[in-house]
Amino acid sequence: MIMAANPRFQMTLFAYFLTLLLSIFSSVSESSQFCEAGIGYRQCGASPYSSSKILIKGGTVVNAHHQEIADVYVEDGIIAAVKPNIKVGDEVTVLDATGKFVMPGGIDPHTHLAMEFMATETIDDFFSGQAAALAGGTTMHIDFVIPVQGSLSSGFEAYVEKAKKSCMDYGFHMAITKWDETVSREMEIMVKEKGINSFKFFLAYKGALMVNDELLLEGLKKCKSLGALAMVHAENGDAVFEGQKRMIELGITGPEGHALSRPPVLEGEATARAIRLAGFVNTPLYIVHVMSIDAMDEIANARKAGQRVIGEPVVSGLVLDDSGLWDPEFKTAAKQAPSLSFSASTS
């Protein structure tokens, strides 16, 4: 990815990309899906950068540990060399990146495209969401397969169908919403045959996706046996449900009721519980979208103690709080999604 070198953005860019994994350079030739959608570059396959050999010359190359002015030579979609003053022949397409940053595209490890939930569907599908991501410099993402009635195979096939309009690289996590021997066997199929090696368990959404501790334990044990990564959406679903009922009883039905019904302590409690159960099973754990200091502290303490726990940062959670939910203009307050934690626990 090439970006104009503006010093004011430099630290912001570093902070942002530290929250993302780094991807292998993606070929600059346009995907056939753009052509199929009717918005391709003049003619399908007629990208001005369709050469299999490309030199990105003179940019400020930014990687995980430093930045330097250098050239990047790409052959058949793979970075072959990164160093100053690379000499190439006339058959190589040369892109002048002088005065620009050249950095790896971001990997977004947590997306929900074309997701049906609670009688709604996310606004972006696998084309529109990916096109927006590419425009912002993200070149790969990992979406979540939410199985239909708990069937992992059916859920996987449904998402494969949804992803046929994709225009960038993607992968899948798999959500586990129930437990029986069929689910256990299908997890093995997902890992050994379908390339899925991460499974998500919801401790939230009572009556829908939420799992209890018994199911979570079974899932953690299965993940360990398969060498797969267990992921957890950490909120105490029972307590959140009680908080929702309390808000309705009090007549607090505006956007502010969302935050009041699920204070940060409920994320902290669920995070602590998941960490301790994963430690009991002795398997790694990935906590998705960490939104409060309560949860962050639990993760930090576990990591200091040597446990294999990863906390997933979310940009909105790092820079915003729930104050927007109290805006007197309903349209302004209601559009803040996901709703965020209290400022006292996010500052």
Quickly list H helices, the chain. 7-18, 32-36, 128-135, 152-162, 181-193, 213-226, 237-249, 256-261, 264-281, 293-304, 315-319, 330-334
Q: What pTM was estimated for this model as a whole? A: 0.79
Work out the end-to-end distance of the chain between its first and last CA atoms, rounded to an integer number of angstroms: 32
Low-confidence ranges of the chain (pLDDT < 70): 1-51, 337-347
Domain boundaries, the chain: 2-102, 176-345
CA-nearest of 305, 279, 167 to 220 is 279
Judge contact between 129 and 140, C-beta under 8 A. no
Could you tell me the two tokens for 52? 């299999």
Output the pLDDT for position 128: 96
Output the pLDDT for position 337: 64
Fold designation for 2-102: Urease, subunit C; domain 1 (2.30.40)
Output the pLDDT for position 292: 92
Q: Is 63 left (phi over 0), alpha (psi -120 to 50) or beta?
A: beta
Q: Give Cβ neighbours of residue 171 (< 8 Å, ≥ 6 apart).
A: 140, 141, 142, 143, 195, 196
Output the pLDDT for position 319: 82
Instruction: Name the architecture of domain 176-345.
Output: Alpha-Beta Barrel (3.20)
Q: What is the CA 254 to chain-centroid distance, rounded?
A: 28
Judge contact between 100 and 2, C-beta under 8 A. yes
Output the pLDDT for position 317: 81
Output the pLDDT for position 35: 36
Judge contact between 5 and 13, C-beta under 8 A. no
